[in-house]
Structure 1
Amino acid sequence: MSDIAVMTDSNCGLMPEEGRRYGICILPMPVLIDGNTYYEGVDITSEMFYEKQKAGALITSSQPSPGDVMGMWDRLLKEHDEVVYIPMSSGLSQSCASSMSFAREEKYKDRVFVVDNHRISVTLTHAVLDALNLAKQGKSGAKIKEILEQEAMDSTIYIAVDTLEYLKRGGRVTAAGAAIGTALNIKPVLTIQGDKLDAFAKVRGMKSAFRTMCKALHKDIETRFSHLYEKGLLQLGIANTWMDTEAIERWKQALTLEFPGMELTHIPLTLSIGCHTGPGALGIGTVRKHVL
């Protein structure tokens, strides 16, 4: 059995220090703020990020440099036989495609396995934990990649955006549309199904947005994922950008009541999503889990 290191990036919602507790190597994602580069969980916290965002800073997401990616591979390969790297979905960033290209270099061939798992946030975290469990079962890096890519579509995410301000700043909503939407208390609901972030619905108020997301999630569980649900192989997830503790606890309680008996994981939404949604966004979803 080969010794396998499991690696991901901070788009999973876990920071490098948290990753060490799980035995996961986490590459911090860069974010550009007023022309300066910060690394998620290293030299900028969520609180600092959203304070700068609300103050009007110019913020854009970025991807890790080739040196950062391959530098971590090199360090891991000094202590491990293989590396399984699960970055954010290829449909949401070029980082996955770039890493696959790097992994074809001779020094990494058959030693580094880049997984296009089409995941982000809590669903990506579960894929990474699955990789750890599969490695413990004695699966090779190549086999882990094969399994995770086969199961890539066994997840669904819905995200309610509390403010239109940051979609307007990013050019995804016009200034006029944002003004009208704000006046009407419109909350866009987005969805991530595999490799893309798409519009799903527009509703009035976060409570209506939550009901809309729950209805969609019920439908997914009853149709696409019924075979997994019946076998006890589905896990609930909830994630959020910056909001107070009491608010997220209320949403967690509401989700637990809506889906009784399902295990719930809470992980913050990554800054890569927060760049576009701003604070107060709420995501819910479900994902396949592996049972040892």
Structure 2
Amino acid sequence: MGVRAALAVHPASGRGAAARVSGTVAERLREVVDHLSLAVADTVDESRELMRRAADAGLDVLVVIGGDGSMHQGVQFCAEHGVALGIVPAGTGNDLARALGVPGEPHAALDHLAASLADGARRTIDLGKVGDTWFATVLCAGFDSAVNERANALRWPSGPRRYDVAVVAELARLRPAPLIVDTDAGRLETEATLVAVGNTAYYGGGIPVCPDADPSDGLFDVTLVGAAHRRDLLRLLPTLRSGRHIDHPAVTTLRASRVTLEPANGWTAYADGDPLRPLPLTTTCVSGALAVVG
């Protein structure tokens, strides 16, 4: 039996970029799969229902056009149903695509995906899990999750520059908070500004907050910034996009397969760029939880 695929399109992703390329993507996919169904949805609930119907009909691959929020929904479905994920990035950050070496431009990504489908190329990556929710990139809390929240609310500018504007705005509200990071590799109790638990390296549209994170080693990379003053963060910011922030004395890094963040200090955790839940929480790295095309 040949490959049965579904194409999930979130038309609003990338300010309409997903909708604009969807016809081209569908046409190209029909050349390399035996059956293609379409799941065009404007809401998360609608998307999940369309994916479920595709799974009931028999499905090997789910191709998602969109940004990290769209990929996050695709990851939930694929991890739970044993379906491989195909990625065509068309969003603002595209951090999962970046981490997995998928071309950032949709048409180039489509060429890569079509070739991989034709060759039957698959690989498995780890995922993080909090309760019943999976994440593929980075779980963060503190200053960076506040930046995420503000960036998501901004209408201007577009692209990664939104995160830069949000960083400047949130600096004025910066307040360290007590944090316990309890892991299978040790326990830290400190005043903290932010914590990032990375399955992959990137968040915020290409910021390598956990620069050495490898989604196939069965471990999270954790980056913790202590009770940094605003001037410390201002010194850190220029180094973030190069990954050199981990050399700053206020930054601690570690690796672990299980991470608990507590107490309930008013921080809300974000994962894959979307709000997840307030602290406290525990997340576990699940080895080989997701199959990816390519």
TM-score (norm 1): 0.31
Choose between structure 1 and 2: higher helix proportion: 1
Choose between structure 1 and 2: higher strand proportion: 2
TM-score (norm 2): 0.30
